[in-house]
Chains A and B, each alone.
Chain A
Amino acid sequence: MNIFIQTLTRDLKMALRNPSSFLNPLLFFVIAISLFPLAISPEAHTLSNIAPGIIWVTCMLAVLLSLNALFHYDYDNGVLEQMVISHHPLPLLLLAKITAHWLLTGLPIVLLSPVLGAALFLDSESIGVLMLTLLLATPSLSLIGAIGASLIVGIKNSGMLLSLLILPLYTPILIFASSAVSQAQFGLSISAQLYLLASILILSLMGSPFVSALALKTSLE
């Protein structure tokens, strides 16, 4: 467990010393969302109707933007090689890296979402549901994204390949999360969507570190 904390703090320390690595996707998230009122309509009714979809699609793209950096730098400088040959369980080391990724990308998105939700005229109850769906599902985005990132590590200019691999896997999360926020706007029950998002999180938490470890070992051979 000590090595989990060491790897997590190492990744956080590195990110804080090179803040552009995690600030760029967050800036993209904020700027992309603020473009929609300019392009579609500044009218409250229109914006509040499309707000759940806009925020969720942009959130996924922002996470996707940040995934390339998850293993790329450690691969380039040889630290990933040392992690693979270490006697510590590789899934545990990867889980620490994925946790750091979520703390630097998913969590700030959750914290920014009330401001952006209010800017798109979401009511306070819907903003609460939006935050809840983001809190439940952004860890899944990091976990599922790690599988794609480990498969393409070592392949140059693989940004498009990562999108092709990962976006289809993100689709169920997008459907359930944005429909939960839309239903909350009409005062309907959202428990089914929340349970489904929670089950996706548990499944990805149990599977992703192991699948990513296998994919990394294969990529490094």
Chain B
Amino acid sequence: MSELIVNKISCQRGYNNLFSELSFSLTSGDILKISGANGSGKTSLLKILAGLSSAECGSVSYNQNKAGSSKYQQDIFYLGHLPALSPELRCQENLSFLSQLQGDDVTDKVKDTLIDMGLKGYENEYAANLSAGQKRRVVLASLLINQAPIWLLDEPFTALDSDGVVILEEQINKHSNGGGLCVLTTHQECNLPNMQILSL
């Protein structure tokens, strides 16, 4: 069984020790919500899991592949605070490039996935003309395309309307039932039955 192992990691930002010797493991189907006050290190923890920054000490691995290695990076999808879209590109072009960065060439699925995310009619719209919620939907559409086993979502419900929240919750539950892992941070209540909570 696939397992994400976080082993005694510590994180310091400036003079603040955010967390130290944090350990946990997640197996296929787990959903973990990281909760904590502002500045408690939720985003820093997600960035360490994403291989974007390194912990002061400790290790993160998935199926014996360490964070930062090519095989590990192939298995993750990370959604940060920023939209990850270029305003000069159309929705389809943005999604196609994001998907290619994360995995294989999936150009043929791009249009259908945008429609699934409620963006019918916006496929050829420039990202500059989209609202914050629509931009979020475009990025979340790449979740549906690539199906990386580990989803790392930092405040994924931000800017989404109620329909968008429902679509995303359904996708997270579907991903979990299909054997995927999801680690997310959110201050909103969410309808995810198998969710575990880690307080920082």
Do the beta carbons of B82 and A3 come within 8 Å of each other? no
Of A54-62, A72-80, A129-137, A150-158, the one touching chain B: A72-80
A192 within 8 A of B: no
Q: For chain B residues 9-64, which have a beta carbon within 8 Å of chain A?
A: 50-54
Q: How many residues of B are counted as interface, with CB atoms below 8 angstroms from the partner's CB atoms?
A: 28
Do the beta carbons of B53 and A220 come within 8 Å of each other? yes
Q: Is the interface of A mostly helix, strand, loop or mixed?
A: helix
Q: Among B73, B84, B86, which residue has its beta carbon within 8 angstroms of that of A87?
A: B73
Do the beta carbons of B82 and A77 come within 8 Å of each other? yes
B83 within 8 A of A: yes
Do the beta carbons of B100 and A221 come within 8 Å of each other? no
Question: Could you tell me the distance in whole angstroms from the C-beta of B24 to the nearest C-beta in chain A?
Answer: 21
Knowing A3-B100, A3-B101, A87-B73 are in contact, say whether A77-B84 is a contact too (CB < 8 A): yes
Knowing A221-B52, A221-B54 are in contact, say whether A86-B86 is a contact too (CB < 8 A): no
Q: Among B76, B82, B87, which residue has its beta carbon within 8 angstroms of that of A85?
A: B76
Shortest Cβ distance from A14 into B: residue: B88
The residue among B85, B93, B101, B105 with the most chain A CB atoms within 10 A of its own CB is B101
* Docked CA distance A83–B84 (Å): 10
A45 within 8 A of B: no
Do the beta carbons of A79 and B84 come within 8 Å of each other? yes
* Docked CA distance A182–B136 (Å): 56
Do the beta carbons of B84 and A10 come within 8 Å of each other? no
Q: A13: which B residues are within 8 A, CB to CB?
A: 88-89, 93
* Docked CA distance A189–B88 (Å): 47
Do the beta carbons of B97 and A10 come within 8 Å of each other? yes
Q: For chain A residues 14-30, which have a beta carbon within 8 Å of chain B?
A: 14, 17-18
Do the beta carbons of B88 and A88 come within 8 Å of each other? no
The residue among A6, A78, A87, A221 with the most chain B CB atoms within 10 A of its own CB is A87
Question: Could you tell me the distance in whole angstroms from the C-beta of A165 to the nearest C-beta in chain B?
Answer: 23
Knowing A2-B105, A87-B73 are in contact, say whether A81-B89 is a contact too (CB < 8 A): no
Question: Could you tell me the distance in whole angstroms from the C-beta of B132 to the nearest C-beta in chain A?
Answer: 13
B74 within 8 A of A: yes
Do the beta carbons of A86 and B52 come within 8 Å of each other? no
* Docked CA distance A221–B56 (Å): 12
6 A-B residue pairs with CB within 8 Å: A7-B97, A13-B89, A77-B87, A78-B84, A82-B102, A89-B70
**Closest 4 A-B residue pairs measured CB to CB?**
A78-B82, A87-B74, A87-B73, A78-B84
Add 8 more A-B contacts to A3-B101, A85-B78, A221-B54 (CB < 8 A).
A7-B97, A17-B88, A77-B84, A77-B85, A79-B85, A81-B52, A82-B101, A93-B101
